[in-house]
Structure 1
Amino acid sequence: MSTPLDDAALSERARRVLDFEREWWGHTAAKERHIRAEFGWGPARYYQVLNSVLDDAASRAYDPILVGRLHEVRDERAERRRTRRDTAAS
């Protein structure tokens, strides 16, 4: 999946966030509780950090499948927001 050099370029916090997201992908009900237990953050802070991690090139090297999938989800959501705004403005 990744090389030791890739792992060194990615911070410990970023690795923890990606590992957590890989484990909890698709789970919603208990995920917020586990975010608080694992990181001590609320969900909003977790997703801010996750989005920041996704923008780090070392993250794609660490877990290209997960990061690619999360980029797709983020892009789809952004497109839906743009479409809603464009429709509402018409």
Structure 2
Amino acid sequence: MSEPELSQRDRDILDFASRSWTGPGARDRAVRERLGISPTAYLQFLNALLDDPRALAYAPTTINRLRAARDQRRGQR
């Protein structure tokens, strides 16, 4: 049996994460307006998606970019 597909919310979060922003303020406003969640919730959902194989299949470029950034941050600690 295959895994269920990503939810619409998860796809929306990944689509949103694929965009670039001029700064955190602009992104945070857009998160609230477009996704209807807090920036903290957005980052929590996004972080969980980084390790989801369905997310990698849906948005490989975005997931690989964000994983690399996460790995780089972890290496600096």
User: What is aligned with 1:32?
Assistant: 28
**Structure with bigger gyration radius:** 1
Counterpart of 2:54 (choices 30, 52, 58) is 58
Q: TM-score, normalised by structure 2?
A: 0.83
Q: What is the alpha-carbon distance in structure 1 between the residues aligned to residue 56 and residue 69 of structure 2? A: 15
Unaligned runs of 5+ in 2: none
Identity %: 37
Quote how far apart the aligned CAs of 1:26 are: 4.4
Deviations 1:6-60 (A, max 9, x none): 9x6221111000101112x343241110001112222111100101111110011
Distance change (3 Å), C-alpha of 1:42 and 1:12: same
TM-score, structure 1 as length reference: 0.72
After superposition, the CA RMSD in angstroms is 2.0
Where does residue 19 of structure 1 map in the other structure? 15
Structure having greater relative contact order (Cα 8 Å, sep ≥ 6):
1
**CA distance in 2: counterparts of 1:40 and 1:79, whole angstroms:** 32
